[in-house]
């Protein structure tokens, strides 16, 4: 009895750990600790459920241990090995596995019911069907999301005409089957179970198929909340309060997170789900032209990149002047300096539209003279620089001046920003500079574009950095 009490307390602690862990993860300073707390909660929950008194327990600890250990090892190594840039797709992959587990549970329970091993009531059957259905969507949906993010699958190839109609039909169909199964109290054939499973899996795939690659993070978050809900449902099946609450918690948190991600992109969730390919991805791609793909960076990512770097060099150009963003630029500078980032300005001799244009602007923004580097001082600095922010400059950071003998600016000394670890290019679109030549910098592997009016972007960036 004391054991049960102790394990009950452990479960309460686990539940609180989930909540507090998630809470701490929503603030940068405590985020890592939050993850640890949440992980500890999970460990406690597993232990409590492993050893808790259970009616009709046969235990089968061998099988369980085998499963848990195998899963842990695989999961751990996958997580350790994955490249930083591939993390989002791995989250999706992991989430899909969670969903797959729910599918298995739902299927076996349904099988048991159909085989007469168990005889669940209407409510329980509904819950089992829910588990299976949502688990399936989470499973195949996540897998497809993974494939899309990883570039294995091309968006356009897997979208059928009138895809939303098909999806709606599939949704109604699965719901109808669920209700039918519950209504007949599980008196169904094994084949029927199989059919339901297959349709559910197809629906999951089809659900994600029309959604654009750029919207994948939102979708993953949504599928994640599905996994949460399906876990909660499984908790009901197995009478586990912690599963129920943990699942509900993730379901709720995931939902609100999905909505917030949509908001951050200025889109509605519905728009993401039915709208097909993300519009942001389109604009960039359309303008990219022949020189290969460009990579965009989101404001938050840019903020993180800057915040956690040691040295930043700002390269102002005519665009800074047009946007009159000098003061905001200075604010970013101050914000970063406050956090121990060294910030300099690299001034190209012909940046702007008159000699000394940048000097005038930066003087207006009260940038101290020692922070300004001229061409000769800047170029040796770039290789030691973590991040270069190119603010509305174009010709003066054009590597074609060194690499393309045919270029009208070939031979002009330019700022070799591409030698820095990262380059963030702020401009409104892909238009050319004064000299009217293409700029390969924008397609360089180290550069990421941050589109928008320099002033607005700067202001938003300052806000993001402040939030860190």
Partner 1 sequence: MEVFVQFYETNQLLIWLLFFTVILGFEVISKVPTVLHTPLMSGANAISGIVVLGAILLLRQSEPDDYLTLIVGTLGAVLAMINVVGGYAVTDRMFEMFKKKKQR
Partner 2 sequence: MILGFLKETHDRRVAIVPQMVPKFQSLKCDILLEFGAGESSGYPDASYGDAIKTASRNDVIAHSDLISCINKPDESLLNAIPSGKHMISSFESYMDDQIVGVLRQRGIHAFSMDMIPRTTLAQTMDVLSSMASIAGYKAVIKAADHLVKYFPMMITAAGSIKPARILIIGAGVAGLQAVATARRLGAIVEVFDTRSAVKQEVQSLGARFVEVEGAKEDAAAGGYAVQQSEEYLRRQRELIQEKARAAHVIITTAQVRGKKAPMIIPKETVEHMQPGSVIVDIASSTGGNCELTKDKQTIVHHGVTIIGDSDLADTMPQDASFLYCNNLLNFLKLVVKDGSISPDKENEIIKSAWITM
Ligand X SMILES: NC(=O)c1ccc[n+]([C@@H]2O[C@H](COP(=O)([O-])OP(=O)(O)OC[C@H]3O[C@@H](n4cnc5c(N)ncnc54)[C@H](OP(=O)(O)O)[C@@H]3O)[C@@H](O)[C@H]2O)c1
Alpha helices by DSSP H, listed for 324-447, are: 326-338, 357-364, 375-378, 400-403
Q: Which does 312 bind (CB under 5 to 8 A by kind): its own copies, partner 1, ligand X, none?
A: none
State in angstroms the smallest separation of the CB of 63 from partner 1: 5
Q: Tell me which of its own copies, partner 2, ligand X, none is bound by residue 41, counting a contact when its beta carbon lies within the kind-specific cut-off of 5 to 8 angstroms.
A: none
| Closer residue to partner 1, CB minimum distance, 46 or 173 | 46
Residues contacting partner 2: total by CB under 8 A: 32
**Number of continuous H segments (helices) and E segments (strands) in the chain:** 18, 6
Q: What values do phi and psi take at 60, rounded to 5?
A: 50, 40
In angstroms, rounded to a whole number, what is the distance separating the alpha carbons of residues 64 and 428?
A: 56
Residues found near ligand X in the complex (CB under 6 A): 317-319, 322-323, 350-355, 357, 392-396, 426-431, 433-435, 453-454
Task: Give the footprint of partner 2 on residues 215-274 (CB under 8 A).
Answer: none
From partner 2, partner 1, its own copies, none, which one binds at residue 372 (CB under 5 to 8 Å depending on kind)?
Answer: partner 2
Nearest approach, Cβ of residue 399 and partner 1 (Å): 29
Contact characters 185-214, partner 2, x per CB under 8 A: ------------------------------
315, 240, 197: which is closest to 48 by C-alpha? 240
Which of partner 1, ligand X, partner 2, none interacts with 300 (beta carbon under 5 to 8 A by kind)? partner 1
Please state, in angstroms and as integers, the Cα–Cα distance from residue 374 to each residue in 138, 225, 346, 398, following that order: 54, 52, 6, 16
Least Å distance between CB 334 and ligand X?
19
**274 versus 363: smaller Cβ distance to its own copies:** 363
Residues paired with residue 449 on neighbouring β-strands, in sequence order = 296, 425
Residue 366: how many other CB atoms lie within 10 Å = 10
Q: Is 337 in the site for its own copies (CB under 8 A)?
A: no
CB neighbourhood size of 49 (10 A)? 17
Exposure of 353 by Cβ count < 10 A (0-12 exposed, 13-18 middle, 19+ buried)? exposed
Which residues in 356-375 contact its own copies (CB under 8 A)? 364, 366
For partner 1, the closer CB: 419 or 460: 460
Q: CA 3 to CA 259: how far, in whole Å? A: 42
- Nearer Cβ to partner 1, position 44 or 320? 44
Of 52 and 349, the one with the shorter C-beta distance to partner 2 is 349
Which of 163, 327, 371, 428 forms a contact with its own copies (CB under 8 A)? 327
Name the binder of 130 from partner 1, ligand X, partner 2, none, CB < 5-8 A by kind. none
Q: Which is nearer to partner 2, 306 or 441 (CB)?
A: 441
Out of 410, 419, 421, 428, the only residue in the binding site for partner 2 (CB under 8 A) is 410
Site for partner 2 in 313-372 (CB under 8 A): 318, 321-322, 324, 347-350, 352-360, 363-364, 369, 372
List the single partner that 369 binds among partner 2, ligand X, partner 1, none, CB under 5 to 8 Å by kind: partner 2
Is residue 145 within 8 A of residue 254, CB to CB? The reply is no
Residue 427: contacted member of ligand X, its own copies, partner 2, none (CB under 5 to 8 Å, by partner type): ligand X
Q: Which residue lies nearer to ligand X by CB, 234 or 347?
A: 347
Q: Cα 81 vs. chain centroid, distance in angstroms?
A: 18
Mention every residue, 6+ apart, whose C-beta is less than 8 A from residue 207. Answer: 137, 141, 167, 170
- The string of DSSP codes covering 336-356 is HHHTT-EEEEE--TT-SSSTT
* Nearer residue to partner 2 within complex by CB, 148 or 330: 330
The pair of structure tokens assigned to 323 is: 């946007």
CB of 141 to its own copies, least distance (A): 32
How far is Cα 410 from Cα 418, in angstroms, rounded to an integer?
Answer: 17
Sign of CA dihedral 47, 51, 52, 54: positive
- Least separation in angstroms between residue 345's CB and ligand X is 13
- Give which of 406, 381, 393, 268 is closest to 320, Cα–Cα: 393
Binding-site string for partner 2 from residue 100 to residue 139, where x marks contact by CB under 8 A and - marks none: ----------------------------------------
Distance CA 205, CA 202 (A): 5
Closest alpha carbon to 90 in 104, 101, 110, 76 = 76
Contact at 8 Å (CB) between 320 and 326? Answer: yes
Mark whether 215 is an active-site residue.
no
Minimum CB distance to ligand X smaller for 91 or for 387:
387
Q: Which of 215, 376, 395, 453 is catalytic?
A: 395
- C-alpha of 257 from chain center: 11
**CA 1, CA 8: separation in Å to the nearest integer?**
10
Tokens (6 digits) for 298: 């989101």
End-to-end CA distance of the chain: 48
Residues of this chain that bind partner 2 (CB under 8 A) = 318, 321-322, 324, 347-350, 352-360, 363-364, 369, 372, 374-375, 395, 408-413, 434-435
Binding site for its own copies (CB under 8 A): 327, 364, 366
Residues with a catalytic annotation lie at 395
């Amino acid at each position: 009895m004391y054991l049960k009490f102790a394990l009950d307390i452990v479960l309460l602690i686990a539940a609180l750990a989930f909540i507090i862990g998630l809470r701490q993860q929503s603030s940068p300073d405590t985020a890592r600790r939050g993850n640890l707390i949440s992980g500890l909660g999970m460990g406690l929950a597993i232990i409590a459920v492993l050893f808790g008194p259970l009616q009709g327990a046969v235990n089968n600890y061998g099988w369980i241990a085998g499963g848990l250990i195998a899963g842990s090892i695989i999961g751990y190594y996958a997580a350790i090995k994955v490249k930083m840039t591939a993390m989002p797709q791995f989250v999706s992959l992991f989430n899909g596995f969670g969903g797959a587990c729910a599918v298995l549970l739902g299927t076996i329970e349904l099988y048991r019911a159909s085989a007469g091993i168990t005889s669940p009531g209407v409510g329980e059957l509904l819950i089992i069907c829910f588990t299976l259905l949502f688990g399936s969507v989470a499973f195949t949906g996540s897998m497809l999301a993974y494939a899309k993010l990883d570039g294995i699958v091309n968006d356009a190839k897997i979208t059928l005409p009138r895809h939303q109609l098909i999806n709606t039909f599939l949704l109604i169909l699965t719901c109808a089957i669920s209700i039918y199964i519950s209504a007949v109290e599980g008196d169904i054939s094994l084949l029927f179970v199989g059919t339901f499973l297959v349709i559910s899996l197809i629906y999951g795939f089809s659900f994600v198929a029309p959604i654009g690659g750029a919207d994948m993070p939102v979708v993953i978050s949504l599928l994640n909340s599905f996994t949460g809900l399906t876990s909660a449902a499984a908790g009901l099946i197995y009478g586990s309060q912690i599963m129920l609450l943990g699942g509900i918690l993730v379901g709720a948190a995931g939902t609100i997170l999905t909505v917030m991600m949509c908001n951050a992109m200025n889109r509605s969730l519905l728009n993401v789900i039915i709208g097909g390919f993300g519009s942001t991805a389109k604009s960039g791609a359309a303008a990219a032209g022949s020189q290969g793909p460009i990579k965009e960076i989101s404001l938050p990512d840019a903020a993180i990149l800057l915040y956690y770097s040691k040295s930043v060099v700002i390269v102002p150009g005519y665009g800074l002047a047009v946007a009159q963003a000098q003061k905001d630029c200075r604010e970013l500078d101050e914000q970063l300096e406050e956090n121990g980032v060294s910030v300099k300005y690299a001034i190209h001799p012909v940046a702007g539209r008159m000699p000394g244009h940048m000097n005038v602007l930066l003087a207006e923004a009260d940038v101290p003279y020692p922070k300004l580097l001229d061409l000769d001082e800047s170029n040796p600095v770039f290789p030691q620089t973590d991040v270069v922010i190119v603010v509305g400059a174009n010709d003066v950071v054009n590597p074609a001046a060194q690499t393309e003998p045919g270029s009208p600016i070939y031979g002009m000394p330019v700022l070799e920003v591409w030698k820095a670890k990262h380059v963030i290019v702020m401009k409104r679109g892909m238009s050319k500079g004064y000299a009217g030549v293409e700029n390969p910098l924008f397609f360089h592997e180290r550069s990421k574009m941050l589109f928008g009016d320099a002033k607005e972007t700067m202001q938003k960036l300052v806000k993001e950095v402040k939030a860190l």
